[in-house]
A and B are shown apart, each in its own frame.
Chain A
Amino acid sequence: MSLLVWGFFTGIIFGFLLEKGQVLRYDRQLGALRLKDLAIVKFMLSTVLVAMVGIYLFHDLGLVQLKLKTTVLGANIIGGLIFGAGWGLLGYCPGTAVGALGEGRWDSLFGIVGMLFGAAVYAEVYPALKTNVLAWGKLGKITLSGMVGVNHWIVILFLIIVVIPLFFWFERKSL
C-alpha cells in the first residue's frame, strides 16, 4: 500500500480517537490553558506514555529508527512561546483545528486559513531567520536520556512513575 494511503488511513483513526476523546473543542483546549479541564493534557500524556514504550521497544529490537528533531534553544523557546500565544487565541492547534472542522465546529476554518497565511509569512522571512534565531543554542538531535547520560529506559520509567500518580491526582481534583 502506498505511503499516501497509509497516511490517510492513520489520519482517519487518529481523528476518530481525537473526536471520541472530545479534545477537538475550543472549550477543552482553553479549559486546559485555564487549568480547569485537563482532558487534552490527559490525552497527550496517555499517548506519549504508550508511544514512548512502544517506539523504544521497537527501536531496541532494531525494527524502527528514531527521527529526532534538532534542538535549537532559540528557535524552540521563541517559536514555542509564539505558538502558545496564537494557540491561546485560536483555541485549536493545527491538527485539532482540522479535526474540529470535521465535527462541524467551523470557527476553526478561520484558524486554518490564518495558519496557511502564517506558513506563507514564515516562508517569506525564513532566509532572515536562518542565521540568527534558528541557529541560537543549537544542541543537535539530543534526547533527555542522552543529555542526562542514562539509559533511555530509566527516563521512560521515571516519566511513567511521575505521570501515573498525576492522573490519579487529576481525577481526585476532577480536573
Chain B
Amino acid sequence: MNHVLKQKTWSVYVAGGLAGILLCLSVLITGKYVGASTTFVRSAGLIEKIFAPERVAKMDYFVKTEVKIDWQWMFVAGIFFGSLLASKLSGDYRLTALPPMCERRFGPDRLKRWIAAFVGGMVAMFGARMTGGCPSGHGLAGSSQLAVSGYVSLICFFIAGMIMARFLYGGGENR
C-alpha cells in the first residue's frame, strides 16, 4: 500500500475511475456534487467584504451565491493539500516557475507567462460563472448526471480551448 501511494504515477484510467467512485460516495454520504468555480465567487466576496461589507451585502450575485466557507470551499482547499501530499510522497513536488511546453514556445520570460496566466484566469472564471460551472461542476458532476447543460458547456470549453491553443501554438507537429 505504502509503495503504491509513493508511485510517481498511476494509470490515468485508474485515477479517473477512482475519482468517479469518490464522486458517487460523496453524493451518497453528503449529497454534495463536486465543483470548483463557485468557490472563487465566495472567495472574491470574502475578500471584498473586508473593504466594503455593506456593498457586498447588497450585490445581487453575492446575495444569490452566499459569501461563506462551505462544503465546496473546503473541497477546493483539500485539492491543494491532496496534490501536495501526493507529490511529496512520490518526490515529484518541485517548485516550477514555467510549464515546459510554454517555455519551449515562448522562451524563459516569466513576466509574459504571469500576465497570460492572470488574464487567462480572469477570462476563464468570467465564462465559468456565466455558464454556471467549470470542468468539475459541469464536466464531471453535470455529465455524470447526464445534464444537457454539462455536455453543452463541456463541448464549448473544448472548442474555444482548441482554437486558443491553435492560435498560441499553431498547427505544427512540435510537442
Contact = CB atoms under 8 A, between A and B. Distances in A.
A98 B139 CA distance: 17
Interface residues of A, number: 123
B27 A107 contact: no
Given A79-B128, A94-B36, A69 B43 contact: no
B78 interface: yes
A135 interface: no
A102 B62 CA distance: 28
A143 B146 contact: yes
Contacts of B115: 110
A70 B124 contact: no
B99 A80 contact: no
Given A87-B157, A152-B146, A8 B117 contact: no
A9 to B, nearest CB: 7
A85 B38 CA distance: 19
Contact of A85 (B72, B87, B163): B163
A80 B168 contact: no
B20 to A, nearest CB: 3
A70 B142 CA distance: 10
Contacts of A143: 145-148
A76 B153 contact: yes
Nearest to B118: A114
Contacts of A117: 44, 118, 121-122, 125
